[in-house]
Amino acid sequence: MAKKRKPGALYFTGISRVDKDAVVLTGNYYALEEAAEQRTALLSLKKGSWGSLDLSGIAHAVRYSGATKSNREYLVLERNRGLYRITPPEAAHFDRIGAKREGFLMDLRRIEDRWYAAGGHHQVYQENHGVWRAIDEAIHVPGEKGDAKVLLSIHGLSETDIYSVGFNGVLLHYNGKTWKHLPSPTNAGLQRVLCVSKDEIYLCGNANGLYRGNANKWYALTEPDDKITFWDMALFQGRVYLCTKKQLFVIEDDVLREVEIPVKGPLGFYRMDADHDEFWTCGNECLLQFNGKVWKQHVFPDNV
């Protein structure tokens, strides 16, 4: 017999660490899976207490702005080039990025002091004092909505050293002025790029793809396997973690080691976020917190 779910039951789709024992998440409602309505739950968890706010549309990224504790702001990237700025507990402001263009936006990252967004048709935007401008003149590929020219991830060490990856193994680098297509180590989709240092950039994605290197050379850390996809990566206490939807791994001397997590119930992974003090990961209905020594599981009340 299928599990009978509460009307507010959901699965997690995004996560951003906010403070000690505190995160903000996005989720999709099971009850709306077959509905025409598109709605995202924005959830906050702080020291065991949950808060929630519903937003229109489907979120592809949630980020914490890093503002002061007295003026926190969460950013939610809605796939139709929309951006919600939420100041708890209720204030929400909506902007449109690249309103005259086609294609979804898939990722949002702050690099140094500016936000960058990337997505369909290889479009990339940079925010400067609240104003978004396209910085993709050399790489933007206008086309039909169904075209498989999509950037899924953007990350960088500085405004003059930015990488972006996506469908079909596309790999791009930005030097602060122009984008350059780099030779890719794969033609399989790349889901995420993580920049640790100038010479230590990680790429992961479809077909068990995991690579370390930089703009000049890439090293494969895994063997091809079409059945495996790595969805996300995060740097925590000097080590790189990455996940499939069922397993969490840590890279040790270029070798993957599965992380044993001593909690009850089914595990799921999809997105993660971390700083030096805490590591958080979510997937399906599973939400986990790790301080480097102890794992803690959190359960959303409507999922019980």
Inform me whether the pLDDT recorded for 1 exceeds 70.
no
pLDDT band at 36 (very low <50, low <70, confident <90, very high): confident
Res 144: pLDDT = 65
Do 249 and 213 lie in one domain? The reply is no
Q: What is the model's pTM?
A: 0.95
Do 140 and 248 lie in one domain? The reply is no
Do 109 and 142 lie in one domain? The reply is yes
CATH number at residue 268: 2.40.10
Per-residue pLDDT reduced to its tens digit, 52-67: 999 999 999 999 987 5
Do 264 and 178 lie in one domain? The reply is no
Query: 78, 96, 114 — which closes off a domain?
Result: 96
Q: Is residue 12 situated within a structural domain?
A: no
Do 129 and 190 lie in one domain? The reply is yes
Query: 67, 96, 125 — which closes off a domain?
Result: 96
Q: Is residue 131 situated within a structural domain?
A: yes
- Average pLDDT score over residue span 107-112: 97
CATH number at residue 140: 2.130.10.10
Q: Is residue 81 situated within a structural domain?
A: yes
Res 244: pLDDT = 98
Res 90: pLDDT = 67
Q: Is residue 68 situated within a structural domain?
A: yes
| Mean per-residue pLDDT over the chain, rounded | 94
Per-residue pLDDT reduced to its tens digit, 64-96: 987 555 678 999 999 999 999 998 766 789 999
Number of domains in the chain: 3
Do 276 and 192 lie in one domain? The reply is no
Inform me whether the pLDDT recorded for 213 exceeds 80.
yes
Q: Which residues contact 226 (CB under 8 A, 6 or more apart)?
A: 206, 207, 208
Q: Is residue 7 situated within a structural domain?
A: no
Domain of 59, in residue numbers: 18-96
Do 59 and 114 lie in one domain? The reply is no
Do 145 and 222 lie in one domain? The reply is yes
Do 170 and 132 lie in one domain? The reply is yes
Query: 175, 196, 227 — which closes off a domain?
Result: 227
Do 29 and 86 lie in one domain? The reply is yes
Do 28 and 77 lie in one domain? The reply is yes
Do 160 and 104 lie in one domain? The reply is yes
